[in-house]
Amino acid sequence: MMEGKALIPIERIENVIIQIREHKVIIDTDLAKIYGVTTRKLNQAIKRNIDRFPPDFLFQLTQKEKEEVITICDHLENLKYSPYLPFAFTEHGAIMAASVLNSERAIHVSVYIVRAFVKLREMVSTHKELALKLLELEQRLESHDEQIQAVFEAIQQLMTPPAKPRKKIGFVVKEKQAAYGRRSIKHKKG
């Protein structure tokens, strides 16, 4: 590790990673600051080694994307004065930039960049898992709602009187016998 110089904390790197074109990227001015070089020096090194940067490593922003980035990221406000469209580095592009800069700081800081991207991926994965669990819970509750509704309907059916009176079940006590109390049982012999 580099001694005497403090490396960039992962939280600072996480704060400059933004999403453009469905990619998590670092804008060239932020990457240059992280690597301790000027944006001009970084972009010159990239242009000299452009064959190392396929489109999934590096792409240049459109004017509209540049304006959106300036609006969203206060720390990139100075980009509005630049006549150039900035470059966006994906995780792999940011690491490749360290290899073309070939400085000790760039090599050490690239490890922190990888860790920051990995941490963000883990956070996204956790959110996806949580969203799936919430969806499962919601579906389970919906099925419970259906079951509870079925129970209520069954109770309502039991509570409503039948349209046609039912025939009474059991025996009928005659009034005379009821007046004398218990009736005697006669056994037939036979």
The helix/strand/coil state of 117 is: helix
CA 47 to CA 25: how far, in whole Å?
A: 18
The pTM assigned to this predicted structure is 0.55
pLDDT per position as a tens digit, 98-122: 888 877 777 667 667 777 777 777 7
Q: Which parts of the chain register pLDDT below 50?
A: 1-6
pLDDT of residue 173: 73
Cα–Cα distance for residue pair 57/36, rounded to 1 Å: 20
The answer to whether the CB of 95 falls within 8 A of the CB of 53 is: no
CB–CB of 91/114 below 8 Å? Answer: yes
> What is the pLDDT, as a whole number, of residue 1?
41
Please tell me the predicted confidence (pLDDT) of residue 96.
85
Residue-wise pLDDT for 13-33, tens only, equals 777 888 888 888 889 998 888
Long-range contacts formed by 28-32: CB under 8 A, 24+ apart: 28/86, 28/87, 28/88, 28/89, 29/76, 29/78, 29/79, 29/86, 30/75, 30/76, 31/89, 31/94, 31/97
Q: Are the beta carbons of 24 and 90 closer than 8 angstroms? A: yes
The per-residue pLDDT for 100 is 84
What type of residue is 13?
Answer: I
Contact status, residue 114 vs residue 95, Cβ threshold 8 Å = yes
pLDDT (0 to 100) of residue 171? 75
Report how far residue 98's alpha carbon sits from residue 92's, in angstroms, rounded to the nearest whole number: 10
**Residue 110 confidence (pLDDT):** 67
Provide the percentage of residues in the chain whose pLDDT is more than 70: 71
pLDDT confidence of residue 5: 47
Quick one: pLDDT at residue 9? Answer: 60
